[in-house]
């Protein structure tokens, strides 16, 4: 019986270590995703600036094109933020399960 308890304790400890390792990896993933999202947003803004530069020269046309592109960027950014929030929530849930 004592041998079985020792085996179970060892298995439990190994599981805790794996969970901590995965939690650490998830933290790194969230940071990298944020960096990628920021870089993509910067590239999108640069692309919009270039496309506006080469569009029709009328003020109204440029203004409208810029506003439409800003809306598109904000929509994409909101989607990325929601995905990051879900990842962070998942990470918190994993940490809570580990603590329990």
Question: Kindly report the CA angle at 21 between 20 and 23, in degrees rounded to 5?
Answer: 65
Q: Domain containing 20: what range?
A: 2-94
- Domain count for the chain: 1
pLDDT tens column, 10-33: 999 999 899 888 888 888 888 888
In a domain, 74, yes or no: yes
DSSP 8-class letter at 82: H
Distance between CA atoms of residues 64 and 82, nearest Å:
27
Structure tokens at 92: 């918190």
- 54 belongs to a structural domain: yes
Distance, in Å, from the CA atom of 93 to the CA atom of 81, rounded to the nearest integer, reads 18
pLDDT in tens, 37-95: 888 878 777 766 766 665 656 676 667 677 777 777 776 777 777 777 787 787 777 77
Query: Would 99 be classed as within a structural domain?
Result: no
Residue 7 lies in a domain: yes
Contact yes or no for 19/93 (Cβ under 8 A)? no
Q: Is residue 100 part of a domain?
A: no
């Amino acid at each position: 019986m004592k041998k079985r308890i020792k085996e179970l304790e060892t298995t439990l400890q190994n599981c805790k270590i794996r969970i901590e390792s995965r939690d650490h990896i998830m933290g790194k993933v969230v940071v990298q995703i944020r960096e990628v999202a920021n870089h993509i947003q910067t590239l999108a803004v640069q692309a919009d600036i270039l496309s506006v530069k080469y569009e029709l020269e009328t003020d109204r046309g440029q203004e409208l094109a810029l506003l439409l592109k800003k809306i598109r960027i904000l929509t994409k950014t909101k989607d990325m933020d929601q995905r990051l929030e879900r990842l962070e929530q998942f990470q918190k849930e994993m940490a809570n399960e580990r603590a329990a």
